[in-house]
Amino acid sequence: MYNSTLCYLERDGQYLMLHRIKKKKDINKGKWIGVGGKFEEGESPEDCVIREVWEETGLTLQNPVLRGIITFIADAEPTEYMFLYTAPHFTGTMVGEEDCPEGILRWVDKDKIEQLPIWDGDRIFLRLLREEKPFFSLKLRYVDGALTEAVLDGEKIPV
């Protein structure tokens, strides 16, 4: 098992998205996701999300908002507990879109994100963010890269 963070920075009806195309061995290869990564020893979720966003974007988060915890279960990966954040407030100058070590950074209109290649489970939690759902727990199970189960706050939901 491991812990990670994911953050959607917000600006003018857009989220900052990362097109994961630079790493050779990457479970997210070719997908568009938010910004984040794995915890380092001794980090809190807030420490991790602030560090990861700064490393990948050059931006410093101001009071990121913890929106939910996502449990990922996949046949080929260890279980992942991901702390999901949104961040409408940040400072600094963003690195060039091509300068992120993980991929390409782009501001994308929130209503156009679902047209991008994203994980099916991400569609669920992006909808929950759009609906301003209070803090939630979401379990997502993948088999061979396909979403087979989703459980929101203990209740199964359609996938």
The count of structural domains within the chain is 1
- How many Cβ atoms are within 10 Å of 14's Cβ, its own excluded? 17
Q: Which domain holds residue 145?
A: 2-157
Overall pTM > 0.85: yes
Per the structure block, which two tokens stand in for 151? 């459980």
Query: pLDDT truncated to tens, each residue of the chain (159 aa)?
Result: 999 999 999 999 999 999 988 877 777 788 999 999 999 999 999 999 999 999 999 999 999 999 999 999 999 789 999 999 999 999 999 999 888 888 999 999 999 999 999 999 999 999 999 999 999 999 999 999 999 999 999 999 999
Is residue 28 within 8 Å of 102, Cβ to Cβ? no
Is residue 53 within 8 Å of 9, Cβ to Cβ? yes
Domain CATH for 63: 3.90.79.10
Question: pLDDT value at position 45?
Answer: 98
